[in-house]
């Protein structure tokens, strides 16, 4: 059975003319942000991508069909439907075979985007290794290891064990670049406290690394962009509410794919919307950078067979302008 995908007219037109396209995930709309702000953000982020000269492709499964690019009616459905399924890769075949609907995670969005010929994907924070004794590792990590995609994010959600997640990304040979930073971002926080091996300064460098990666083997290039210090969540507030949220999740017996939405919702509530504000800024900024990278990737490809050199990533050297 071939995989049937429905492209929005906008995405189909962009791909037909070889234009830049940016994939956007729908789980953060359906399960990561509260209603009705989530719908505003979903629309706003698409506009940000368009303003950079790229085409947004928000991805979801509706009534058994993969949608690459959503109409406004479909966006309303994703944002508004109570108890919409959260579809990781393992859930996709079930939804497709049974005519189901759901929002796609980083893992399933990356897979579907790559299958649809989209190279660049913007999200908030990746899933990863959860904290605590029980073993919980997001399927995002294995998916990124297997998929040729460039993902722009603000690191991994700070609800996770960041050190363990970075180790897993290394084991899985996922390329990780800091965008204008030497430190891995901490999602709500500018700096997770963990250093990075590679730093880039310009979107074209991200595009060149992705091109080189694709020539080598499948697997993702993660471009980690931090919030500016002035826009991060107050670190003291962050540490206090996160500790409380983790205890509450444990006490409430939250498990499986409910963990991430539970923790995010708890934080948005107890920070009086401060974590939500930071989360929205992360998504907006990442969408903008992803669009600029997608445009750079198209421009690079138009160099007509010119060899693409690995960019100088050494921070001691000045970045090419």
Contact residues: Mn ion, CB under 5 A:
136
285 binds, among Mn ion, ligand PSU, none (CB under 5 to 8 A by kind): none
- Least distance in angstroms from the C-beta of 78 to ligand PSU: 12
Closer residue to ligand PSU, CB minimum distance, 282 or 293: 282
192 is a site residue for ligand PSU (CB under 6 A): no
127 is a site residue for ligand PSU (CB under 6 A): yes
> Before 36, cis peptide (omega within 30)?
yes
- Phi and psi at 120, nearest 5°, equal -125, 140
32 binds, among Mn ion, ligand PSU, none (CB under 5 to 8 A by kind): ligand PSU
Nearest in space to 273 (alpha carbons), one of 233, 235, 245: 233
Closer residue to ligand PSU, CB minimum distance, 96 or 139: 139
25 is a site residue for ligand PSU (CB under 6 A): yes
From 140, 191, 201, 288, residue interacting with ligand PSU (rule: CB under 6 A):
140
Nearest in space to 42 (alpha carbons), one of 84, 89, 103, 117: 103
Q: What is the dihedral sign for C-alpha 263, 89, 99, 150?
A: positive
157 binds, among Mn ion, ligand PSU, none (CB under 5 to 8 A by kind): ligand PSU
Mark whether 201 is an active-site residue. no
With b for 16 or more beta-carbon neighbours within 10 A and e for fewer, the 109-135 pattern comes to: bbbbbbebebbbbbbbbbbbbbeeeee
Instruction: Please pick, among 25, 46, 201, 288, the residue that the annotation labels catalytic.
Output: 25
User: For the CA atoms of 98, 101, 104, 110, what is the dihedral angle to 10 degrees?
Assistant: 50
- Least distance in angstroms from the C-beta of 27 to Mn ion: 12
Mark whether 157 is an active-site residue. yes
157 is a site residue for ligand PSU (CB under 6 A): yes
Helices marked H in the chain — which ranges?
9-16, 27, 37-51, 72-80, 92-98, 106-115, 139-146, 162-171, 203-216, 235-251, 259-270, 274-301
Judged by the rule CB under 6 A, the positions of this chain that interact with ligand PSU are 25, 27-28, 31-32, 105-107, 123-125, 127, 138-140, 157, 257, 260, 264, 279
Active-site annotation, residues: 25, 157
């Amino acid at each position: 059975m071939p995989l049937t995908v429905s492209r929005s007219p906008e995405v189909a037109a962009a791909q037909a003319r070889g234009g830049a396209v940016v994939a956007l995930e729908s789980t953060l709309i359906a399960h990561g942000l509260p209603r009705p702000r989530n719908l505003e953000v979903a629309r706003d982020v698409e506009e940000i991508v368009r303003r950079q000269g790229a085409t947004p492709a928000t991805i979801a499964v509706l009534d058994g069909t993969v949608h690459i690019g959503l109409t406004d009616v479909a966006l309303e459905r994703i944002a508004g439907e109570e108890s919409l399924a959260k579809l990781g890769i393992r859930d996709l075949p079930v939804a497709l075979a049974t005519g189901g609907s759901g929002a796609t995670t980083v893992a399933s969005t990356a897979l579907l985007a790559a299958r649809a010929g989209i190279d660049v994907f913007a999200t908030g924070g990746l899933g990863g290794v959860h904290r605590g004794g029980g073993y919980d590792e997001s399927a995002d990590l294995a998916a990124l290891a297997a998929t040729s995609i460039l993902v722009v994010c603000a690191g991994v959600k700070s609800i996770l064990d960041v050190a363990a997640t970075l180790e897993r990304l290394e084991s899985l040979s996922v390329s990780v670049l800091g965008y204008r930073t030497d430190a891995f971002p901490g999602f709500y926080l500018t700096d997770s406290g963990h250093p990075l091996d590679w730093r880039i300064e310009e979107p074209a460098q991200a595009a060149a690394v992705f091109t080189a990666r694709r020539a080598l083997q499948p697997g993702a290039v993660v471009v980690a962009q931090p919030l500016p210090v002035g826009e991060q969540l107050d670190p003291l507030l962050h540490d206090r509410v996160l500790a409380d949220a983790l205890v509450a999740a444990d006490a409430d017996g939250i498990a499986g794919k409910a963990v991430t939405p539970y923790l995010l919702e708890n934080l948005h509530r107890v920070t009086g919307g401060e974590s939500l504000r930071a989360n929205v800024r992360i998504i907006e900024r990442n969408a903008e950078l992803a669009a600029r990278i997608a445009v750079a990737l198209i421009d690079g490809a138009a160099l007509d067979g010119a060899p693409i050199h690995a960019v100088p990533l050494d921070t001691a050297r000045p970045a090419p302008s």
